[in-house]
Structure 1
Amino acid sequence: CRAVPCAEQIRFCGSGSEATFFALRVARAFRQRDKILKFEGGFHGVHDYSLMSVGPRAPKAFPAPTPDSAGIPHAIQGEVLVAPFNDVAEAEAMIEAHHHDLAAVIMEPLQRLVVPQPGFLQGVREVTARRGVPLIFDEIVTGFRFAYGGAPEYYGVVPDLAAFGKIIGGGFPLAAVAGRRDIMKHFSHEMSEGGFVQQAGTLNGNPIAAAAGLATLAELRRPGTYERLFATGTRLRQGLEAAARRAGLAAQVAGEAPVFEIYFTDRPITDYRATLSADQALHAAFTRELLTRGVVKAAQKFYVSLVHTDVEVARTLEVFDEALTAVAGTSH
C-alpha cells in the first residue's frame, strides 16, 4: 500500500485477467451501473468484458465495440463502450455523454506500446473525477516497472482502482486489485447482501507466490534500481533506432525505456490505428533474424530486465545491426 498511491486496500488473485475482471466487478457494485468504457487497442486480459476492440480491423465505429473472440455473449457488447486512445476531446465527450450509465473507465496508462500524449491521462482523470466514475488503471505491465509507484508516479495521474500482475509475483502467479477504501469495501462480508462482491480463488495470495513477490519488491527498492533499468532500456532503444536508420528502414520505436517495440512504418505510433500501418512480414523476418543470432524477444515487446548487463546489451546492439541489415536486404 505504501508504494501505490490509490491503494487504501488490496485484494490478491492469481492473474492479470482476474485482477481486471474483479476491478470491473467491484466498480459495478460500487456504482450500481453496468457499462464500462475502454480504449481501442487496449488489452485487459481474456475475460468477456476485456476482449472488445483489442484488435479491430473494421473502420472505426466509436463507441460500438468489436468482439475479439468467439463465445462472448452478444449482450456483453451492449455493456462496453470504446473510445480512441490519445484523443482527449473525444474521450471526454464520450464520458460526459454516458456518465450516468458508466460503472468505470478502464485503461492502460501506456496502451500496449502507445505513449499517452501530454494531457491525455490528465483529461480522462479530470472528467471521471468530475462525474464520479471510477478510473481503473491496468498496471499489469506498468506497475513497478516504470517506477516503484508505477504509472501514477511516472505519469503523475492517480486512478481510483488499479490492477497489478507480472512483476508483483516475481515470475509466479500473483496479481492484485488495489484502490479506494469506499470502493474496495464491497469485497468485505460486512457489506449487505446486495452490495457484497464475491472474489475468491484457491491459489489467491498463495505463500510461494507471495514470498517471491516480497523478494522482488525488496530488489526493486534498492537504491539506483530504476535509474539502471531506464539507462539500459534507453541504450537499447536508441541503439535499435540507430540500427534501423543505418539499414535504411522506415521504422518507429514506440514505448518507454523499460518496454518498447519496433514498428516498420513511417507513421508515428500515437494510437492503435497507427500500428496497423506497420509491415508485419518485415517484423516477423526481423524476429527470426534475432532468434538465429541468439536474441529472444517477446512476441510484441522488448522487456528490459535488471539482470541485463553491459555484456548482454552490447551483444544485443550488435545483433540489432545484423538483423536489420539482413531484413533490409530482403525488403527491396
Structure 2
Amino acid sequence: MTAQGDSAALAARPAPATLGRHGRLSTLEQSEFDIAKAYLPGGALGGNALAEDAKFVFAEAKGARFKDTSGNQYVDYCLGSGAMVLGHAHPAVQQAVIDQVAKGTHYFAYLNEPAVKLAAQVARHVPCVEKLRFTVSGSEATFHAMRLARGFTGREKIMKFEGAYHGHHDYAQVSTAPKRESNFPEGVPDTGGIPKGARDTLLIARYNDLDCARQIAEANRDDLAAIIVEPIQRIISPQPGFLAGLRKIADDVGCLLIFDEVVTGWRLALGGAQEHFGVMPDLSTFGKVLGGGLPVGGVGGRADVMDQCDPGKKGQEGFVYQNGTLNGNPLGMAAALATLAELEKPGTYERLFAIGETLRQGLRKLLARHGIDAAIVGYGPMWHLLFGAKGEPRDYRDIQATDGKKLVAFDTELIRQGFFVLPGNRRFVSLAHTDQDLEASFAAFDAACRKL
C-alpha cells in the first residue's frame, strides 16, 4: 500500500469524539487480549505491561497519533520507545521501504547498496566514527562495544552508572533500576539468570559524580576496559564538565570511553550528544532514531578499535567476532537513509527542541493550576514527570526519592485519557506533533489532573 493509501485508510476509520478508551472496548480487541494472555507470558511482548483498564492493541498509526483495535485514538509520547522521531508512517520512510522491498528484503550480512551508503552517512555526521558495524538493536550494539573494548585493552571490567540502561544483556542488566542502593562499585542484578562472572565485571558509579568515577577507575586501572555512559542518562542531564571529566579519567587510566547514544543519537543533533556537548568518545552505539521504526542499531568509533572485527583477522590474536544474520538488513538501511535525509533538512532540530519546550511549559502550567506537587523535567525532545521532585534530578537516587507509585497511577490515567506514555518512564516528542496534538494533549492531561 502506498503512503497515500495508508493515510486514506487511517482517515477513513471513524475517530472517537475524544481521545482515550473511556469504556470503548470492541469484541475484536477483547479476543486479542485473550489470545495474548493464552500464548504470551504476562500477555505481553516484552518487559512492560499496562493496567487491565488501560491496555490496548495497536491497530494503526500516523504522525503523532495511533488507534487501537477498538478504534480509540491516542497522542503518542512513547513513540516506539523513542524511535519514531519523524512520527509514525512517515511518507518518505514508507516509500524507501516499499522501493527496497521490490529489490529484495534480505541478503545476510554481506555488503548491500543501502548499507554502504548509510555507513558513509553515519561516519560523516558522528564525530567519533571512523569505522562502524551495524546491528539489529541497541542492546546488541552496547554488547559489541563492550566486547570491542575488552578485546582492545585486554582488560575485563566495565564501569557503568547507577540507573543507566544499556540493553537487556547480562553485561547491562546490573544496577539499571535497583530496588536497593548500590554499594559503589558493587552492582545489584536487575534480573535472574545473570552469571556471577558477568556481574563481577561491572563496576557501578554515581552519575554526575566525577570524584566517585575517578576513585573507582583509579582503584581498577589495571582491569578497567571502558567507561560506558548515556550522555543524558534516561532523563538526567550531565552537569557542566561531567562528560569532559569522564574523557579525562578514561585517558588517565588508559581505558576507552563509550557513549551509549542509542537514545541521544540523531535526537539532539545529527552528530548526537557528542556533537551537542562537544566531547569525543572512543566508541559510540546507535539505535532507535536511526532505524526510522525498523530494527537498526550500530557501533562505531576509532578505526584501530573497530578493525579488531575485520573478518580477515579471524584466527589471529586480538580478533573480535561481530556478526548477525540481519545486520545491515537492506530494509532497515533504506529506512535509515530516508530518516537521515529528513533530519538533515534546515531547522529540524530547532523545531524539535521547540516542540519539547512548548509541551513542557504547557504541562507545568496545568500542574500549577491544579496545585499538584510535581515537576516536569527534561531536555530538548525528552521530558518526564516526577511527583515530589524539587527540580531537575542529578542522579538516579534523586529520581528514586520521588513518588514513583503516584507517577504510575497518574500515567495510567493519562493513557485512559488518550495521552500515551510508558508508565513510570521517560517520554519523547516527535517532529510530527502538531499544535492540534499538543492542545489535545493538554486537555487530556488536564482531565487526568482532575482525576488525581
Corresponding residue SS for 2:300: strand
Residues 1:290 and 2:414 aligned together: yes
Unaligned runs of 5+ in 2: 1-122
Once the two structures are TM-superposed, the CA of residue 178 in structure 1 deviates from its matched residue by 0.8
Task: Please identify, of 6-15 and 237-246, the stretch whose mean Cα deviation from structure 2 is larger.
Answer: 237-246
For the residues of structure 2 that align with 1:280 and 1:220, how far apart are their CA atoms? Answer: 35
Partner Cα separation in structure 1 for residue 181 and residue 267 of structure 2: 34
CA contact (8 A) 1:115 1:254 kept: no
- Measured in 1, the distance between the counterparts of 2:149 and 2:212 equals 23
Tell me if structure 1 keeps the 8 A contact 2:411–2:422: no
State the shift of 1:254 in Å. 2.5
Selected match of 2:398 from 271, 274, 293: 274
Determine whether 1:314 maps to 2:436. Answer: no
Q: 1:52, 1:285 → 2: CA distance?
A: 26
User: Shift of residue 245 of structure 1?
Assistant: 1.8
Could you list the per-position Cα deviations for residues 105-127 of structure 1 after superposition, in whole angstroms to 9, with x for gaps in the alignment? 10100101111111111111111
- Which of the two has higher C-alpha Rg? 2
Residues 232 and 284 from structure 1, CA distance in 2 versus in 1: closer, same or farther, beyond 3 angstroms? same
Distance 2:348 2:379 in 1: 16
Aligned with 1:264 (options 376, 382, 387):
387
The answer to whether the aligner puts 1:204 opposite 2:362 as a matched pair is no
Matching residue of 2:69: none
In 2, the alpha carbon distance for the partners of 1:170 and 1:40 equals 29
2:263 equivalent among 120, 133, 141? 141
Distance 1:157 1:44 in 2: 20
Q: Which amino acid is 2:320 matched to?
A: V
Q: Distance in 1 between matches of 2:350 and 2:448?
A: 28
Residue of structure 1 equivalent to 2:342: 219
1:188-233 deviation line (CA, Å, top 9, x unaligned): 1243622111111111110001000000000000111101100000
Secondary structure of the equivalent of 1:66?
Answer: coil
Give 2:170's aligned residue. 48
Counterpart pick for 2:292 among 170, 175, 198: 170
Partner residue in 2 for 1:155:
277
Match of 1:305 in 2: 430
Whether the 8 Å contact between 2:309 and 2:322 is mirrored in structure 1 is: yes
Moved over 4 A (4+): none
Cα distance in 1 for residues equivalent to 2:326 and 2:232: 29
SS of structure 1 residue aligned to 2:125: coil
2:384 touches 2:427 (CA, 8 Å); kept in 1? yes
How many pairs does the alignment contain? Answer: 327
Residue 72 of structure 1 aligns with which residue? 194
User: Is 1:110 aligned to 2:232, yes or no?
Assistant: yes
**What does residue 330 of structure 1 align with?**
none
Q: Deviations over 1:91-111 (max 9, x none)?
A: 122212212211111010010
Distance 2:404 2:157 in 1: 34
Amino acid of the residue matched to residue 422 of structure 2? A
Distance 1:155 1:60, change over 3 A: same
1:62 is aligned to: 184
Deviations 1:119-168 (A, max 9, x none): 11111111112322110011111000011110011111111100000111
* 2:143 corresponds to: 21
Equivalent residue in structure 2 for 1:101, among 206, 219, 223 = 223
2:179 aligned counterpart, secondary structure: coil
Q: Which has the larger displacement, 236-245 or 39-48?
A: 236-245
Contact 1:267 1:274 in 2 (8 A): no
8 Å CA contact 1:267, 1:277 repeated in 2: no
Is the Cα–Cα contact under 8 Å of residues 52 and 68 in structure 1 kept in the other structure? yes
Q: What is the percentage of aligned positions where both structures have the same residue?
A: 47
- Displacement of 1:235 in angstroms is 0.5
Inter-partner Cα distance in structure 1 for 2:284 and 2:450: 42
Q: CA offset at residue 308 of structure 1?
A: 0.8
Which structure 1 segments of 5+ residues have no match?
Answer: 328-332
- Separation of aligned partners in 2, 1:267 and 1:43: 24
More moved, 135-144 vs 147-156: 147-156
Q: Distance in 1 between matches of 2:381 and 2:441?
A: 15
Alpha-carbon distance in 2 for matches of 1:294, 1:253:
19
| 2:170 and 2:199 in contact (8 A); partners too | no
